[in-house]
Structure 1
Amino acid sequence: MPDPSDRLLDLGAAPVEVVPEDEAAGLVPLDPATRAALVERARAFVDDLARTDPRSPQFQRTLDDVARLGQRDVRAASQVSHRLLQRPSSRPGGAATDAQEQVADALAALRRTITDLDPGRADPRGPRRLLGLLPGAKQVTRPAEYHQDAQRQLDGIVRALATGQDALRRDNAAIEQEEAELRVVRSRLTRHAVLARALDAAVQEKVAELSLTDPEAADALAGAALFPVRRRHQDLQAQLAVSAQGHLALDLVRRTNAELIEGVDRAQTTTVAALRTAVVVAQALSRQQRVLDQVGALSSAVDVEALHRAVEEVLAAVDAVDTSGLQAAAQGGGRP
């Protein structure tokens, strides 16, 4: 007697490759009890199908139910994927108002400002040159004006960082909701895929069983049931793979947002504080330079050597006066 499995070669659909369920792409782990219940359900379904006349409308309606297995969850997963593609961070090039780009631009501006205001790079001409390096800064002629302008730029950067951080937090809250919904959908899709796989195995078992007693019925069951069951299993597997990719994409965006949020926290604490310190140092350098300029002006106005010569001249004059007095006294004492 020919091997019943030889009949499968004429069905136009190859058997599904045997792969451990836990290794299949996109599958969510199921507990053994759930798997066993799905296998029993598949066997009972195939037993009822085998007892139904293949030419009856009921037989076709049953196969139509197989073709629609998990259809509601497939649509739900597709909607999640569609919403994922509508996110600004998921579109090529992003959007101008994307929170990630807003925070990244603000952090880049902060970095440039830090570099420009580094006191170690100060020009001998003082902090006026530092302010001239700031993006969009105008020429400043007074240290007070320089300090105010630098503070305004810092305040603008801090506000942009805070606004972007709030947007990132809202974005992550929405992502977590999407992930929770997708996790539930993937769990249901996994049960549907395991059931479809169990249906495939149950149909093959029933075909092998019927081939021993009723080869014609075995051929009818195999020809009518195997192809739609396998096609549905493949569709569910494909949707699971797409859903798994969507879950990974959402997780990537969420982790990127979390890293940017932490970066903003660091920028708002340590980095901005250090930058404000740099501005204060630049202002102090300006004031110090003004003091040194005044000291230099005073030193040039009062020459120490000239003062020393003047003192010597005064002393010489005093000596001359004293000498004249002694001479006058001597002459007066010698008179008769």
Structure 2
Amino acid sequence: MNQESQLIFADREKLREDLHLVEPLEIHATATTDPELDQQAEDVVARILKTDINNAGEHKKTSTAIEQIGMDLQREAARRSAMLKQPLTKLMADSEEGGEVAKSLIDLKLQVEELDPAGVSFDSGWATRLLGYLPGVGTPVKRYFSRFENASTGIDAIINSLETGREQLKRDNITLTDDQAAMRALTLKLEKTVKLGQLIDQRLQSELESEILADSPQYKFIAEELLFPLRQRIQDLQQQLLVNQQGYLTTEMIIRNNKELIRGVNRALNTTVSALQVAVTLAVALANQRIVLEKVQAINKTTENLIA
């Protein structure tokens, strides 16, 4: 079987490389590589430093803002992951095992192999010719053609099943592509929020190390009430990013595997069935020609005997 005729399903690790998915724990933002985000981080830190920690309202507002960084985004990502969980599980199983499409392809393969004229003997020996006179038996050509006609109904049913399955795969891919686009957008936003959190962390840490007195209330406020929850939020966002990436990766695998199944169905419908029909027609024609030739030779032999 050549490379063109083989179905090549997606490999998860190779696919991860192709999609350039960044390991969440390996994300490390810097002011140099992310100048726009760094400017946002600078603005956030500037507002934090202006907080009157003796004012209960301002104190609460600032600490809550840090605790809520990326929270809406995380909720949206979690909601979408939950929505996709059940259909993705089923689609992934169908994608890997092929579902009804793969079953129909196997059924078609078995039918074609059974009807392959290359494995059928059309020779008419004396015993075969004798049996051919019995009612309902016939010649090898007639028996084979009868078997082919009987199997044609089953092949037609398989073809209908393949066509139905192919259209379902196409519809699945349209839906999955839309879901994937939304997940990709969420992935990029999560990555951006993780980087923003890291840059805020770096700037606050720098302020503690060089600008704020270690025994001041502001130092304690930033170190205990801001930096600690900020780092927890960064970890939570990294975990959510990982979950989101897995969903994105799984969706891409299903889409690619579905495309391969569609390719296999198209080839089966356009090539395999046609090839069988051509092979059957040719085999029957050749067998009939051989029968005619044998009869011509027989009559010629009879003629020669009469003349001799």
Q: TM-score, length-normalised on structure 1?
A: 0.68
Q: Which letter maps to 2:87?
A: R
How big is the alpha-carbon RMSD for the aligned residues of Structure 1 and Structure 2?
A: 3.7
Matched residue of 2:51: which SS?
A: coil
Matched residue of 1:53: which SS?
A: coil
Map residues 97-246 of structure 1 onto 2, 5 A cutoff.
100-123=98-121, 143=143, 145-212=146-213, 215-246=216-247
Map residues 1-336 of structure 1 onto 2, 5 A cutoff.
24-25=23-24, 35-55=34-54, 56-87=56-87, 90-91=89-90, 94=93, 100-123=98-121, 143=143, 145-212=146-213, 215-284=216-285, 287=288
Matched residue of 1:69: which SS?
A: coil
| Higher RCO, Cα 8 Å, sep 6+ | 2
CA distance in 2, matches of 1:159, 1:92: 21
Matched-pair contact (CA < 8 Å) for 1:26–1:240:
no
CA distance in 2, matches of 1:76, 1:98: 28
CA distance in 1, matches of 2:191, 2:224: 26
Residue 216 of structure 1: CA displacement? 4.1
CA distance in 2, matches of 1:282, 1:68: 75
Matched residue of 1:87: which SS?
A: helix
Matched-pair contact (CA < 8 Å) for 2:96–2:257:
no
> Structure 1 vs Structure 2: percent identity of aligned residues?
30
Matched-pair contact (CA < 8 Å) for 1:28–1:186:
no
Q: TM-score, length-normalised on structure 2?
A: 0.73
Residue 170 of structure 1: CA displacement? 0.5
Matched-pair contact (CA < 8 Å) for 1:27–1:186:
no
Residue 192 of structure 1: CA displacement? 1.3
Matched-pair contact (CA < 8 Å) for 1:99–1:167:
no
Deviates most, 108-117 or 225-234: 108-117
Residue 166 of structure 1: CA displacement? 0.4
CA distance in 1, matches of 2:57, 2:117: 87
Matched residue of 2:69: which SS?
A: coil
The 3 A distance-change label for structure 1 pair 291 and 213 is closer
Residue 148 of structure 1: CA displacement? 2.3
Matched-pair contact (CA < 8 Å) for 2:107–2:158:
yes
Matched-pair contact (CA < 8 Å) for 2:92–2:250:
no
**Per-residue Cα deviation, 1:148-179 (whole angstroms, up to 9, x for no partner):** 22322222222111111101100111111011
The 3 A distance-change label for structure 1 pair 57 and 34 is farther
Q: Which letter maps to 1:111?
A: K
Listed as ranges, the gaps of 5+ residues in structure 1 are: 1-21, 127-138, 312-336
The 3 A distance-change label for structure 1 pair 238 and 98 is closer
Matched residue of 2:24: which SS?
A: coil
Residue 291 of structure 1: CA displacement? 5.1
Aligned length: 272
The 3 A distance-change label for structure 1 pair 146 and 200 is same
CA distance in 1, matches of 2:185, 2:28: 12
Listed as ranges, the gaps of 5+ residues in structure 2 are: 1-20, 125-135
CA distance in 1, matches of 2:137, 2:86: 46
Radius of gyration: which is bigger?
1
